Every structure is written in structure tokens, then in C-alpha cells.
Amino acid sequence: MDYMEGLSKIKSATQFGSVAGSTRLGVFELDFGWGRPAKTEVLSIDRSEGFSIWERRDKPGGVEMGLCLKKSEMNIFLSLFRNGLKD
């Protein structure tokens, strides 16, 4: 059974999440002959309500996070996140 087939067998009421990424990969230093990347993405998080952590291109030691939630959950997250920044 491959990964995608396994995902399709998860019951719809089951809560499932994923985490992907690396802060030490050095992806922005890679050059395959086209120049260094301007942006990177972890594309697999959109099916699993997951998040990714990646290094920032413009700030050494910084991180960038991607988050994929249902719209109603994202609205709650944004509210909590904004309030957390104020405190």
C-alpha cells in the first residue's frame, strides 16, 4: 500500500495531521544550474491539516511556517495567534 492509498483509507471522522520541513537543509544554498531558489514550499500538507517548518531565505537562522487548516479552524487560529502577539 502506498502513502496516498493509505490516506484514502482513513475514516473521515478521524483527526489526522502531519508535520514537514527542515530548518537545516540549506535548500536556499542549492543551485542545480538555474540559480538559487527564490521560494520553496512543502506541497504535501494541504491534504492533512498539517504544517511545515522551513528556513527563511532572507534571514539566516529564521524560520518560515506553512499551515493548512479548514477555513473555520484557520479563523480561530488567526484570532488566537493575533491575540498571542499582543500579549
Per-residue pLDDT tens over the stretch 29-86: 777 788 877 776 656 555 666 777 777 777 777 777 778 788 898 899 889 888 887 8
Q: Give how far the C-alpha of residue 36 lies from the chain's centroid of Cα atoms, to the nearest Å.
A: 21
| Domain segments of the chain as ranges | 16-86
Given phi > 0 = left and psi -120 to 50 = alpha, else beta, which region is 8? alpha
Tell me the one-letter amino acid at 9: K
The reported pLDDT for the residue numbered 75 is 92
What is the three-class DSSP state of 3?
helix
Is the model's pLDDT at 13 over the cut of 60? no
In 1-87, alpha helices (H): 3-8, 71-86
Output the pLDDT for position 7. 67
Q: Is the pTM of this model over 0.85?
A: no
Q: What is the pLDDT of residue 34?
A: 84
- Tell me phi and psi for residue 53, to 5 degrees: -125, 130
